[in-house]
Amino acid sequence: MVTRKLVWSLVLMGLLLFLSVSIFEGRGQDPVPGVRTEEASSGGCSLATIHGTYGVWEQGTFVGKIDGNPPGIQVAIVGMVTYDGAGNLSGTWFGSFGGSVTPTLPATGTYTVSADCIYSDEFSPGPGLVLHHSGPIVGGGIFQEVHYIYTDSGTVMSGTLRKAPLVH
């Protein structure tokens, strides 16, 4: 079954990401082999590590029922999020839920960054819905990215935040 293969592929990708972070944690190396973060090289990350505007790309499956959609629905989401460098985020997003495209919607929330460059957030993409992400920060400057998974039960999704270049 294609859906079952997709779910297992995403679970394995998340597990591999978790293992790669765990193996290198505490050894003076970066969370992702071959990608040096400026902060990891200089001794640590902070809330200020994530600041400015980032493009968002996510895909996966909601295994449980969410927002009136049936269980097992495939999802693709894109958006733009701005981080204030002090733990607050806001932005807009739209997505495809099983082929049905949403209008552009606001999202707000808070985030944390650990000294070992692990990002976590809690955000509301709509009324009454609160979700969570977590993953390593890699790269620096305009090459900075956050590779994350959803940490909510019933959700098998991953995504990337990519620093957006300044446009004048």
Across 124-148, average pLDDT? 93
Name the residue with higher pLDDT: 166 or 72: 72
Residue 43, pLDDT score: 61
Q: Label residue 20 exposed, middle or buried (CB < 10 Å: 0-12, 13-18, 19+).
A: middle
Asked whether residue 161 carries a pLDDT value surpassing 80, the answer given is yes
Residue found under tokens 């902060």: 39
Asked whether residue 136 carries a pLDDT value surpassing 90, the answer given is yes
Euclidean distance between the first and the last CA atom of the chain, given in angstroms as a whole number:
48
Residue 90, pLDDT score: 97
Over the stretch 74-121, which tens digit does the pLDDT of each residue have? Answer: 999 999 999 999 999 999 999 998 999 999 999 999 999 999 999 999
Asked whether residue 51 carries a pLDDT value surpassing 90, the answer given is yes
Of the candidates 93, 85, 88, 92, the one whose C-alpha atom is nearest the C-alpha of residue 52 is 85
Q: Label residue 159 exposed, middle or buried (CB < 10 Å: 0-12, 13-18, 19+).
A: buried
Residue 72, pLDDT score: 86
- pTM above the 0.85 mark? no
Across 44-66, average pLDDT? 91
* Cα 131 from chain centre: 11
What band does 20 get if pLDDT is binned at 50, 70 and 90?
very low
The domains located in the chain, with CATH, are 2-163 (2.40.128.120)
